[in-house]
Amino acid sequence: MTPRETVNQGAKTRRAFMLGFRLLIFLAFVGATLFGGDALVRKVMQTSPALFLASILTSRRVPTDLVFGAISGAIFIACAFRRRFFCRRVCPLGACVDVAAYARRRLFKRPALRFGATRVLRPFPILALVWLAALLVPLLNRNVSIPFDLTPLAFDPTSLLASWLRGDALGVSLAFFVGCFLVASYAWRFQVCPCGLFQDLLFLPTAIVQRIRKRLRKKALDKAPNEVEKERESSTTRRNFLLGGATCAVVALFWSFAKRAASNARNVFFRPPGALPSPQFETLCSQCGQCLRACPTRILTTATPQFASSLPLASTTRGTPIVLFERGDGYCEKDCVACADACPTGAIAPITIPTKPSYPIATAVFRLDYCLLYYQQECSICRRECPYDAIDFVWSDEEYASLPTIREEACVGCGRCVVRCPGAGDFVDEEEKHVKALSLKPRDV
């Protein structure tokens, strides 16, 4: 960053032009998210180098769309040679940061607070390292889950923005962030944003080469250090030390809360078909909500207490998609992989319709005393409705009735039998009238 005092007219024009260009990208992103199809949003989101890489690594799927694939690839490569290329040139949230910083300069007549970070890893962004650990550890070891709510990909700027635009809390979230940007414009960019850290990592080789070059040049020139620069550096280091300490405290707090939540959790909930096993799913899910929007039967919801008060949730599941069959009459359609197609990160593996049966959601369980057949009534709805022929009626001498029997190897837990089951109606007490004879249980339990 050049000192603002020496900015000449040409640079000013260039910066204004750049800002205008980025606002255009921002608006394009907003437009794509609000009005475009899910496929388009997924592609736009993958301009984020972090999501781009996550998608390719986890889904082992090369982008089939040449134009968007090429753009995302080009941005990815540019990040390796231009410091924070995505932040500065593409990122729609980055545009917000810069607008806020610009507004702050104009309003308060002073530059935004900058917590250093002009050089790679110098201010030691602790949270950034935590991000990295949170991303890598669960991916490498399936038995370790992320100990807090915030998974790095969920804080990827494109994912954040997409989830806001889609969600109800758009105004609140945006106001909060713009407010933060006004106070400390670059704190987000250099201290928090996981995608920013990722770009720094991408840029690391180039940065090292640059530093060596600079040192060599310095050695060749005068060795006298600049006193003012030194002073500024020490103050920045102190501030960063305090910030790091605060971050550590916040993380510790999260940890303790999360541990308590996790120990209380029943964790009986279901993921979309093809979802990676926990905790990899939680790690890779950017909580962007694209799968929710893509689902034609609207059975996906975010795991929040608001939607699923019956689900005491471990903190890491909050905000990630779960399948809820209790609402309405939706179930997972046999010939649909819309959620997998929409997932930008590969948290939901890119399954296909023929392979879908090998990715069960759950398995159906039968409860005798809520079944009409148990009360000697005529009913064959579940057997007729099952798209996988997983329900047989088997005669039971003991109950003197033919009762549904679920072949677990064929059942994928699509929930169709559950939503279609009429329950035992008048044969049970008033408050149990809507209890169904079929429900779902997790597969592994």
Give yes or no for a contact between 189 and 69, defined as CB atoms under 8 angstroms apart.
no
Does residue 410 bind other proteins (CB under 8 A)? no
Which residues neighbour 440 within 8 Å (Cβ) at sequence distance 6 or greater?
Answer: 270, 325, 361, 362, 363, 364, 365, 413, 415, 418
Give yes or no for a contact between 26 and 96, defined as CB atoms under 8 angstroms apart.
yes
Piece of 20-28, 110-118, 231-239, 369-377 that binds other proteins (CB under 8 A):
369-377
Instruction: Compare residues 161 and 382 and give the one whose CB is closer to other proteins.
Output: 382
Draw the binding track, 315-354, toward other proteins (x: CB under 8 A; -: no contact).
----------------------------------------
Instruction: Compare residues 387 and 442 and give the one whose CB is closer to other proteins.
Output: 387
Does residue 376 bind other proteins (CB under 8 A)? yes
Does residue 405 bind other proteins (CB under 8 A)? no
Does residue 400 bind other proteins (CB under 8 A)? yes
- If one counts every other C-beta atom within 10 angstroms of the C-beta of residue 336, the result is 17
Draw the binding track, 417-436, toward other proteins (x: CB under 8 A; -: no contact).
-----x----xxx-------
Instruction: Compare residues 35 and 400 and give the one whose CB is closer to other proteins.
Output: 400
Number of residues that bind other proteins (CB under 8 A): 19
Instruction: Compare residues 187 and 379 and give the one whose CB is closer to other proteins.
Output: 379
Distance CA 1, CA 22 (A): 18
Does residue 371 bind other proteins (CB under 8 A)? no
Task: Provide the minimum distance between the beta carbon of 369 and other proteins in the complex, in angstroms, as a whole number.
Answer: 8
Task: Provide the minimum distance between the beta carbon of 306 and other proteins in the complex, in angstroms, as a whole number.
Answer: 30
Backbone angles phi, psi at 411, to 5 degrees: -75, 135
Task: Provide the minimum distance between the beta carbon of 380 and other proteins in the complex, in angstroms, as a whole number.
Answer: 5
Give yes or no for a contact between 371 and 424, defined as CB atoms under 8 angstroms apart.
yes
Give yes or no for a contact between 93 and 25, defined as CB atoms under 8 angstroms apart.
no
Place of tokens 């990295």: 132
* Count of residues in the chain: 445
Draw the binding track, 380-399, toward other proteins (x: CB under 8 A; -: no contact).
xx--x--------x-x----
Q: What is the DSSP string of 369-422?
A: GG-GGGGT----HHHHH-TT--EEEEEETTTTEEEEEE-TTT-----HHHHH--
Does residue 375 bind other proteins (CB under 8 A)? yes
Task: Provide the minimum distance between the beta carbon of 395 and other proteins in the complex, in angstroms, as a whole number.
Answer: 4
- Which pair of structure tokens corresponds to residue 28? 């394009």
**Interface ranges with other proteins (CB under 8 A):** 373-381, 384, 393, 395, 400-402, 422, 427-429
